[in-house]
């Protein structure tokens, strides 16, 4: 089931770039709520609270109850976040208004569990993650918090495919025409003879330089 969290907001009067800049100068983040065949709602958010939600790692798969000053509450799903190209600053957030009947596409994070029981990793192999997230389509009340993928018993050369996902009822993969790869257990990276010789020469040169320096 999806997580539902609360985020506070205030209404703002005007749309447009100038109004958005004024909101940012006032120390808040402009945002909009749209969808469900209703007029868009222009709101602003407290940046520290928003930053905390962004850092959960599950922002776009979280259903929020936006509590607007004055008492109104709106259920939403984050759809887009715009960031400043240089500064670590959130410029704008788009929210989709949702209801119990809303079905949507959403990216769900993949968690890999039981690494200590993975034969390939204990033999020096590496977990090569092809997809950190998987896109599904489902109702907003059915969004999985994450997909747990078990590494137990996997050896070097083995792969984890979409068929290993345990999809809850009502949740479907958007890619349904193939059993795509999510991760593989890759062989350890081996240094070439030339790389080993270069490292040995560099170490010898460094040791000689240190010895010469100590004699001086």
Task: Encode pLDDT of 41-77 as tens digits.
Answer: 999 999 999 999 999 888 999 999 999 987 889 999 9
Q: Confidence band (pLDDT; 50, 70, 90) for 20?
A: confident
Query: Among all chains, which residue has been given the structure tokens 């929210």?
Result: 95
DSSP state of 160: E
Domains and CATH numbers, the chain: 4-99 (2.40.240.10), 104-186 (2.170.120.20)
Interval 151-196: pLDDT, tens: 999 999 999 999 999 999 999 999 999 999 999 999 987 654 555 5
- Containing 35, the helix (H) or strand (E) segment is strand 29-35
Burial 151-163 (b: 16+ CB within 10 A, else e): beebebebebebe
Please, which residues bridge with residue 38 across strands?
35
Q: What is the structure's pLDDT at 86?
A: 87
Q: What is the structure's pLDDT at 193?
A: 54
Q: What is the structure's pLDDT at 107?
A: 94
What is this structure's pTM?
A: 0.74
Q: Confidence band (pLDDT; 50, 70, 90) for 202?
A: low
Residues 6+ apart with CB under 8 A from 174: 105, 135, 136, 137
Phi, psi at residue 72, to the nearest 5°? -75, 140
Q: What's the whole-number average pLDDT of the chain?
A: 87
Q: Confidence band (pLDDT; 50, 70, 90) for 1?
A: low
Pick from 9-13, 15-19, 34-38, 177-181: least confident: 15-19
Which two tokens mark 9?
């907001």
Rounded CA gap, 132 and 121, in Å? Answer: 18
Q: What is the structure's pLDDT at 71?
A: 81
Strand order in the sheet with 133-139: 147-150, 103-113, 133-139, 172-173
- Containing 201, the helix (H) or strand (E) segment is helix 193-215
Which two tokens mark 56?
């959960």
Q: What is the structure's pLDDT at 115?
A: 95
Average pLDDT (131-142) is 94
Interval 82-118: pLDDT, tens: 998 888 889 999 999 998 889 999 999 999 999 999 9
Rounded CA gap, 22 and 197, in Å? Answer: 61
């Amino acid at each position: 089931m999806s997580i539902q969290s609360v985020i506070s907001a205030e209404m703002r009067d005007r749309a447009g770039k100038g109004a958005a800049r004024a909101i940012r100068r006032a120390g808040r983040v402009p945002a909009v709520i749209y969808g469900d065949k209703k007029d868009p709602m222009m709101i602003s958010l407290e940046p520290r609270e928003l930053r905390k939600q962004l850092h959960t790692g599950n922002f776009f798969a979280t259903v929020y109850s936006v509590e607007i000053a004055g008492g109104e509450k709106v259920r939403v799903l984050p759809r887009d976040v715009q960031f400043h190209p240089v500064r670590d600053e959130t410029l704008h957030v788009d929210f989709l208004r949702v209801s119990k009947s809303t079905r949507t596409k959403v990216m769900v994070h993949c968690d890999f569990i039981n690494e200590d029981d993975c034969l390939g990793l204990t033999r020096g192999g590496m977990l090569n993650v092809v997809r950190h997230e998987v896109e599904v389509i489902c109702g907003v009340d059915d969004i999985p918090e994450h997909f747990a993928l078990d590494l137990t018993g996997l050896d070097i050369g083995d792969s984890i495919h979409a068929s290993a996902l345990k999809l809850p009822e009502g949740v479907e993969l958007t890619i349904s025409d193939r059993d795509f790869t999510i991760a593989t257990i890759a062989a350890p990276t081996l240094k070439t003879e030339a790389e080993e010789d270069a490292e040995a020469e560099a170490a010898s040169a460094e040791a000689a330089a240190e010895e010469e320096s100590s004699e001086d």
